[in-house]
Structure 1
Amino acid sequence: MEGPIPMPETLAEYETMMPGLAPRIVDWAEQEARHRRTVERSMLCMAWGGLWCALLVSLTTIGGGMALAWQGRSTVGLVGVVGAVAGLVIVFVAGRRRVPLSAFRVEPQIRREPREAAA
């Protein structure tokens, strides 16, 4: 079996055992696919939102550090700028080692009853 929908022969057997079961299985698979796409889309939106927040925080910290350095508080300003840049470098280096999302994908499992041997 390759996907969430059984092979046509198996689906026909389900239909003979319980009329109306084959359309229910197909509907379930379609609903599952829609749900998966919705979840993936929301994860993508959250990732982009996180990137924009990180950009805002980084630019604010760097700008604040530069403003402090310009006002004569060079040590505090330098610490702010270096801390923000170091944080960005650490995030990007750690991000390269991150596990891809495909490793967390869980395929739906259909429980099969063992077939009885023909007598």
Structure 2
Amino acid sequence: MQKKPDSKSTSLKSTNNQTDDLVASVIENPEVLSRVLDTPKVQAIVLKHFQGPVPPPAMLKEYNDVIPGLANRLIELTEKEQSHRHSIESDNVKISKRGQIMSFFVVLIIIFAAILFGLNGNTVLAGILVGIDLAALVTAFIAGKYYSIKTTDSENE
């Protein structure tokens, strides 16, 4: 029985034959080698970068070519993220306003209590209440400014 030639060994032999033929043709005609070496090759490295929530239209088209409908999904995801961020910021503003209103009423109650104590003859207690109230207000304003500056700096980094 005859052995069938292995396809890998056959392809290696044909590759070796082609290489030998190329070497022989270069040896016979050295101009071929000089033309190959003198031919300039142009290579370019392209770097694409975008910044923002939505990729540029060309990139969206490429996404759509890979997975149909992916560009629409990305746009919807971006819109949902934006609305979520807006709702978070709106909630933070509401919480801040509510805290300011509650603080205002607490201060009014303390001042009213200090007035009552002052009218009833407890001027020392009234003075202490007003002093503590003022110290708390000053501390709140200073701390509020400090933390707002600190959060602004950390967001900019």
What interval of TM-score do these two structures reach, taking the shorter chain for normalisation? 0.7 to 0.9
Structure 1 contact 66–81 (Cα < 8 Å) conserved: no
Aligned residues: 105
How big is the alpha-carbon RMSD for the aligned residues of Structure 1 and Structure 2? Answer: 1.6
3-state secondary structure, aligned to 2:148: coil
1:82 aligns with 2:136: no
Higher CA-based Rg: 2
Other-structure match for 2:114? 65
- TM-score under structure 1 length normalisation: 0.81
DSSP-derived class of the 1:98 partner: helix
Q: Which has the higher contact order (CA 8 A, sep 6+)?
A: 1
> Higher helix share goes to which structure?
2
Gaps in structure 1 of 5+ consecutive residues:
106-119
TM-score (norm 2): 0.62
1:66–1:78 Cα contact (<8 Å) kept: no
Quote the residue 1:93 is aligned against.
142
Residues 28 and 103 of structure 1, relative CA distance in 2, 3 Å threshold: farther
Residue 88 of structure 1 and its aligned partner are, at CA, apart by: 0.3
Report the identity percentage. 28
After TM superposition, give the deviation of residue 58 of structure 1 in Å. 0.8
Q: Point out where structure 2 has 5 or more consecutive residues left out of the alignment.
A: 1-49
Counterpart amino acid of residue 87 in structure 1 = A
